[in-house]
Structures are given as C-alpha cells and as structure tokens.
Amino acid sequence: MTSTSQKAEPFDAVDVIRTKRDKGVLSPEQIDWTIHAYTRGVVADEQMAALNMAILLNGMDRSEISRWTAAMIASGERMDFSSLRRPDGGVKATSDKHSTGGVGDKITLPLAPLVAVFGVAVPQLSGRGLGHTGGTLDKLESIPGWRAALSNDEMMAQLQDVGAVICAAGAGLAPADKKLYSLRDVTGTVEAIPLIASSIMSKKIAEGTGSLVLDVKVGSGAFMKDEARARELAETMVALGKDAGVNTVALLTNMNTPLGLTAGNAIEVEESVEVLAGGGPEDVVELTVRLAEEMLACAGVSDADPAAALKDGRAMDVWNRMIAAQGGDPRAKLPVAKESETIYCPADGVLVELDALAVGVAAWRLGAGRARKEDTVQAGAGVRLHAKPGAAVRAGEPLVTLLTDTPEKFARAKESLEEAFTIAPEGSRPAQQLIIDRIA
C-alpha cells in the first residue's frame, strides 16, 4: 500500500528537460517549479545538469530568462533600502556596480566611496577571487582588522552613516543561485549566457539597489574573450534589470591589458589608495570616474564632478570611514611579500602588448588567487608592472616584479609570462580604447 500523504509535484523534471532539449519555450509555471524544486532537492543534480546543458545549446528567450531570474530571487530574501534617509528626510537613492571580473580590477575600492560623496548610498556586495581574476573581498582583507561579514542591520547602519559598504553577500540572497553555480562549474555549462546573466542579476536585484551599472569586461583577461558575446551578455543583463524595475546600464570595457600597474591583493589596495589621493594610473582613474558618473546619473544625480572629489580628498575621507566602520585600520601598513624577483626588459623598443590573462595567471600562481573556493590567498603576493603598452622600454630596465611568500612559486609564474610581453622596435602603438561601448 502506498502513502498518499505527500502532495504530488505539478511537473516532472524529465518533461521540463525534454521541452528545452527540443528547443521549446519553458512556461512561467515550469520555471518557477524547476527552481523551487531544485532548491528543495526534488530535482536531482543530474537532472538540473541536463537542463543546464539544454539551455546552453538551445538558449532562452527574454521572457524565460526574466522568469528564471525572478524565480531565483524568490528562493531567498530581498533587501530593502527604503529606510535610508537623506538629510532632508527623503529616501536616499542607492546605486551599485558589478564587474564581470578581470586582472588588476580594483575599481570597486575607490568607486564606492567616490559615489557616496554625492549622497548616493552604495551597497556593494562583493565576492572572492577564483582562478586568474581577483576578488574584491580578498583585496580588502589585506587591511589589518577589516571584516567582510556584516549582518543586515550592520550594513544598513553603515549605509546610513557612511554611505558606502563593501561586504560579503549573506547566505539568504538567492540561495538557488549558489546551488546552481556550483553545478554549472562542474558540468561545462558556465558559458551559457542565460545562466550567467540570471546568476549575476538575481543576486544584484535581490540586493535591493535602485540602480545598477554593469562593467562587462571583454578581452584576453576577461571571462568573455569575444566582443559579440560580451555585448550579448550586457544586453541580456540590462534587459533583466529593467524587467525587475532596476535602472540598469552597462559599459563594455577592455580587458586585453591589466588595469593599473598591480595584480594581487595588498598591492591593489595600495594602488586604490593612490587613486583616492588624487594620483594613480590613468586607466584606473578613467574607469573609476566614468563608472561613478554612470552610477550617479542612474540615481538621478546629474551635477556631480567625481574627478574633483578624487582630487580634493572627499572620496578619501569616505574611504577612511568605510574601512574603519568594518574594523579596519586605513592607516595601518599593508602586508608585504617576503620574496621578490624582477624580470628585466630584453631589448630596446616600445611595449606594444601586455597580455592580461598571462599576468593574472602569474599572480594566481604566486599565491594571490585560489584554484578552489576553500584555498587561502597570500595578502602580499602578486605582480607589479613597471610599464604599460605604449611605453618606451630599454634593455636591462625592470619590466615586472613578482611577489610571494613562497619563492618556489616563481618558476611557474615566470612560465606564464614568457609570451606576455611584445616589444617592437622604436615606434608608436595605436591607443586601445578602454571603454568600448555603453549599453542602456
């Protein structure tokens, strides 16, 4: 005799898989059930893996992706910043930024306090690095005392008082995404644009920000190497944001060359502080200011001058308060690697190419990144560049310095850099455009 106490499921996973396998369109009810059932454990990993592969091969239309994203948001909590108040008593606008990841991409660090200067709250929920792309939280954790984990109440209090917070996302935001992400990673379905877009946007929409600027990297050091696919991803995410009522724009930005002159953790914090002090590499400053302008415009602030706020110290003031609010000492000395090794320029000429992926892999191999999520990182490890493409170089001058606490890592790091630098005879190098396009 079988029990009838358990409620029957309204759909069968195999039927859902067949629909997408045969290039059909999943109904809103099928999508809602699939995400909910997978989160509950009713849909098995192997069944979701098959569905993910069908989505990779056959795609989803806009309505499917939007519903898939909404279902993932509904799997957990959704934050609400409507209690944040301006000095006049009105609701404080919120604006956030998401980068798809690159090499030397420390933009979040100066950007969050810069936008907060103008009265817009920045709830920046960030992650850790994996592989050759660095993680914002790993960088900030090189600051003595700084902590990434905040409760929702702590986050809200800091946003009200300081105006900016960079912290880890809580487990309650889009828990379905965490489960799906791990499965995609081991089943060859990471590249599916509907799944990438819904993964990113479910967390960002659940975060509750009023507006969002996406920095979609394209090039050798980016997740998306091809501009057409990067553009498709950007357009998909902008559409998802708009469907959810979040004012969303995207910038396509160049990641063939690392951003700035550092790739690592503490050394990227150091470079970010230089930008906040009114200096720093031109490309880091340019992208920070442009993203700030976009975030402020999305939040309804049109008369701001972010470049001036970097120059006059206002952004630095917010940075110091933001770091201190999370237990960090913004004036403490940052960790320094125990060992260093310099690679010298082999010939006179002009540096015409500097491969971002190779630099990112070198930093990772030196200990700045992790191969698995549970790995630890070295705060002081990384790569310091002495020249960027377009610079005149001379034989025997320093080209790059490798930093690590474990000198046995130098050999493999150097292997990754063997083809990273292209030096041509004296001449000019055509300028590469940092910001490729804007998508709104």
What is the DSSP secondary structure assignment for residue 367, as one 8-state letter? I
Q: Which residues pair with 438 in a beta bridge?
A: 251
**Active-site residue identified among 184, 217, 384, 409:** 184
Other C-beta atoms closer than 10 Å to the C-beta of 147 total 15
pLDDT digits (tens, 9 = 90+) for 369-422: 877 767 789 999 999 999 999 999 999 999 999 999 999 999 999 999 999 999
Collapsing DSSP to helix, strand or coil, 165 comes out as: strand
**Active-site residue identified among 98, 132, 179, 365:** 98
Q: What is the dihedral of CA 298, 304, 308, 313, to 10 degrees?
A: -80
177 catalytically annotated:
yes
4 pLDDT higher than 50: no
pLDDT at residue 428 in the model: 67
Other C-beta atoms closer than 10 Å to the C-beta of 106 total 29
Q: What distance in Å separates the CA atoms of residue 49 and residue 339, rounded to the nearest whole number?
A: 44
pLDDT at residue 88 in the model: 87
Pairing of strands 398-404, 382-385: antiparallel
pLDDT digits (tens, 9 = 90+) for 208-252: 999 999 999 999 999 899 999 999 999 999 999 999 999 999 999
The pTM is what?
A: 0.93
Per-residue pLDDT band at 188 (split at 50, 70, 90): confident
Average pLDDT over residues 269-283: 97
Q: What is the dihedral of CA 156, 162, 164, 166, to 10 degrees?
A: -80
pLDDT at residue 274 in the model: 98
Q: What distance in Å separates the CA atoms of residue 141 and residue 127, rounded to the nearest whole number?
A: 12
98 catalytically annotated:
yes
pLDDT at residue 130 in the model: 66
Task: Tell me the residue length of the chain.
Answer: 440
Q: Provide the token pair at 410.
A: 């130098």
Per-residue pLDDT band at 6 (split at 50, 70, 90): low
**Active-site residue identified among 128, 203, 217, 365:** 203
Q: Which residues pair with 133 in a beta bridge?
A: 130
Measured in degrees and rounded to the nearest 5, phi and psi for residue 326 equal -105, 25
Q: Alpha carbon 123 to chain centroid distance?
A: 14
Average pLDDT, the chain: 93
132 catalytically annotated:
no
70 pLDDT higher than 60: yes
**Active-site residue identified among 96, 177, 215, 355:** 177
